[in-house]
Amino acid sequence: MHIHSSGFNWWQHGVLYQVYPRSFQDSNNDGVGDLRGIIQRLDYIQDLGVAGIWFNPFFKSPKMDFGYDISDYRQVDPLFGTNEDLLELIQQCKKRNLKVVLDMVLNHTSDQHPWFVESRSSKDNPKRDWYIWHNSPNNWIGIFGGSAWEFCPETQEYYYHAFLKEQPDLNLRNPEVVAELKNLFRYYLEMGVDGFRLDAVNTYFEDEMRRDNPAISPSNIAPHITQKWVYNYDHQLNFTLLDELSAVVAEYDDRMIMGEVGRDGSDVDAWKTYYGSCNMRLDLVFNFDLLYGEFTPLKLANTIQLWETLPECKWPTYASSSHDQVRGVSRILTNTTANLYQKSTLLATTMLCLRGTPFVYYGEEIGLEQSFDLPKNQIRDPLAIRNNYLIEGRDGCRTPMKWDHTLPNAGFSTTAPWLPINDTHWDINVNTQLGNPHSILHWYRSLIKLRNETPALYKGEIEILESAVDTLLIKRSYEQEEVYIFLNFSEKDVEIPTILLNQHVLITTSSLQNILSPYSVIIV
Ligand code: BGC
């Protein structure tokens, strides 16, 4: 359905780069990134060799959840620029052969959206049924904590919100709402965007009988979650709606539809359901398998094997960082002697050599680390604030991009940025690394180039030849071409497997012969 005539699609072939617009580049010196800032940096993104960009939302919003609470889907928020800037951004991306993927938040709007303002105003308002109203709440809790129902004094009823109370859920059972959203898709597809990343697709529908969820003991990571979301997650109707949305995307050539399905890695079958059957539903499912938890050869081998059970017509995705989770580089090889270069190059090599679409989250390519333990007065994320700072929140992975350490605020803005610059390493900035052929940035660029030029790497079969506690040996092959990737996660030298000896080295971080130095990688 969304298939390109070559049979192999851009979203499979290429690497996708995630830009969090608030933190990429500020062009008007208000401390917040914007669309014109991104336009200024498009050459940089193009030089990375990526195929396209997924932009986090920049639509009109009161920003209670930093843009995931939209009050006008067709308007760029003035903080980020204008609709003309968006057109220019799309055009400039096209000029550079960069695909544009927009973030569509369809589960909910802002409580300031005119639809909701109308809906809450009276029980007989024509928009009343655009949201989910009940005269009594059940036990469901929101993903950000607290009851998922909010009382509305005007009409003496409760509305449902899977996330913040400022993010009321749309009633997606209402055909008028769905028709509106389909038209929204067409509006952006006509504008020339190449695809959508659909936010939180597993929360679209809830049990019509509103049965109570069973209780669970909360974990350390999520102390605010005290129940298993049985009746407000993964509803069958989610799939029906995704099929319909997918059909709209298929009205246009060569466009992509991806859904974000947040869950832990153990339940791959549920993830598979979101892919649907061949030529239906989602082209890509953005999963969370490597987004939290450990990052070890054994875990990786397990993850790869799970994703290899997808039907042949479906295509995995791999991400180690995002705007919602601790940055991969700060989760890999913790409590070891590995330095940032070793961590970043190991991470990059693993993620960019798997069979599936890799996502690179802005800053990952220079080794930007997580900012842990921000002081309370610098925390902005409602997830942390509304849970009395018992949860770390997501600010630490959203700090500004670092362009040039000789400029104020690392060249991100001339004004104090909305989140503090992470200054753990002075050389984590684009300018310094561009001048150093042994930098993390050069490694990413070289590896992406190698991947783009090597069919075995971008579309070949994958086989795990060896997975041990400290090492991983992967084979990628396409027709006659065979590529071997060997990764050393240990602090010791390890012998290079015989199968790799005397082969042409494509790229390596090790300077030794026949031996892979600590935390190094080799591709032959
Ligand atoms: C987004 C989050 C957002 C939430 C609510 C997600 O899964 O990635 O950043 O807070 O949806 O829209």
Predicted local distance difference test score (pLDDT) of residue 44: 98
Q: Report the alpha-carbon distance of residue 2 to residue 258 in Å, rounded.
A: 12
Kindly state if the Cβ of 163 falls inside 6 Å of ligand 1.
yes
The preferred substitution site among 113, 170, 199 for testing ligand 1, maximizing ligand atoms within 8 Å of CB, is: 199
Q: Residues near 432 by Cβ (< 8 Å), separated by ≥ 6?
A: 404, 405, 426, 439
149 forms bridges with which residues in the sheet?
160
d(Cα 382, Cα 388) in Å, to the nearest integer?
10
**Partners of 18 in the beta sheet?**
54, 361
Determine contact, residues 384/376, Cβ cutoff 8 Å.
no
> What CA–CA distances, in Å, run from 39 to 247, 260, 437?
31, 26, 26
CA torsion 504-508-510-515 (nearest 10°) is: -40
Q: Using a 6 Å cutoff on CB, does residue 65 contact ligand 1?
A: yes
Please tell me if the CB atom of residue 458 comes closer than 6 angstroms to any atom of ligand 1: no
Catalytic residue (choose from 199, 260, 283, 395): 199
The ligand 1 atom nearest the CA atom of 144: 10
Regarding the beta carbon of 199 and ligand 1, being less than 6 Å apart is answered: yes
429-470 per-position pLDDT tens digit: 999 999 999 999 999 999 999 999 999 999 999 999 999 999
For a pocket test of ligand 1, which of 64, 65, 233 has the largest count of ligand atoms closer than 8 A to its C-beta?
65
Distance 500 CA to ligand 1 centre (A): 43
Q: Which of 38, 33, 48 lies closest to 97, judged by CA?
A: 48
234 lines ligand 1 (CB under 6 A): no
Sign, CA dihedral 290-364-475-498, equals negative
User: Which ligand 1 atom minimizes the distance to the CA of 383?
Assistant: 10
Q: Is the CB of 66 under 6 A from ligand 1?
A: no
* Inter-residue contact 394 to 382 (CB < 8 Å): no
Alpha carbon separation from 305 to 70, 78, 308, 309 (Å, rounded)? 38, 45, 5, 7
Pure H helices in 279-339: 297-307
Task: Please report the pLDDT score of residue 222 as a whole number.
Answer: 80
Residue 260, ligand 1, Cβ within 6 A: yes
30 is annotated as an active-site residue:
no
pLDDT of residue 235: 96
- Residue appearing with tokens 């996330």: 163
One DSSP character per residue, 269-292 reads HHHHHHH-STTSS-SEEE--TTTS
- Decide whether any atom of ligand 1 lies within 6 Å of the 162 Cβ: no
What is the SS3 assignment for 240?
Answer: helix
What amino acid is encoded at 368 in this protein? L
Closest CA to 411 of 57, 78, 41, 82: 41
Closest C-alpha to ligand 1, atom 3: 68
pLDDT in the model for residue 289: 87
Q: Are 313 and 296 in contact (CB under 8 A)?
A: no
Return the pLDDT at 355: 97
Q: Which residue has the tokens 């690392």?
A: 410
Pocket test residue of 66, 68, 361 for ligand 1, highest count of atoms within 8 A of CB: 68
For 179, other C-beta atoms within 10 Å of its C-beta total 10
Residues of the chain with pLDDT under 50: 1, 3-6
Structure tokens at 35: 């669309």
Q: Is 67 touching ligand 1 by the criterion CB < 6 Å?
A: no
Which ligand 1 atom minimizes the distance to the CA of 164? Answer: 5
How far does residue 200's CA lie from ligand 1's centre (Å)?
A: 7
The residue type of 334 is T
Q: 């204008």: which residue's tokens? A: 82
Minimal CA–CA distance to 258: which of 129, 98, 418, 104? 104
Ligand 1 atom closest to the CA of 322, numbered from 1: 8
| pTM of the complete model beyond 0.95 | yes
With a 6 Å cutoff on the Cβ, whether 69 touches ligand 1 is no
Tell me the C-alpha distance between 306 and 171, whole Å: 34
Q: Which ranges constitute the DSSP H helices of 9-72? A: 10-13, 35-40, 42-48
Query: Which residue among 47, 176, 251, 423 is the active-site one?
Result: 251
Q: Is 479 a catalytic residue?
A: no
Asked if 369 contacts 344 with a C-beta cutoff of 8 angstroms, the reply is no
**Can you tell me the distance from the alpha carbon of 381 to that of 400, in angstroms, rounded to the nearest whole number?**
15
In ligand 1, which atom is closest to the CA atom of 65? 10
Pair of tokens at residue 438: 């042994």
Tell which residue, 16, 33, 38, has the closest CA to residue 89: 38
The alpha carbon of 2 and the centre of ligand 1 are apart by a number of angstroms equal to 26
User: What pLDDT score was predicted for residue 4?
Assistant: 44
If you compute the radius of gyration of the chain from its CA atoms, what whole number of angstroms results?
A: 23
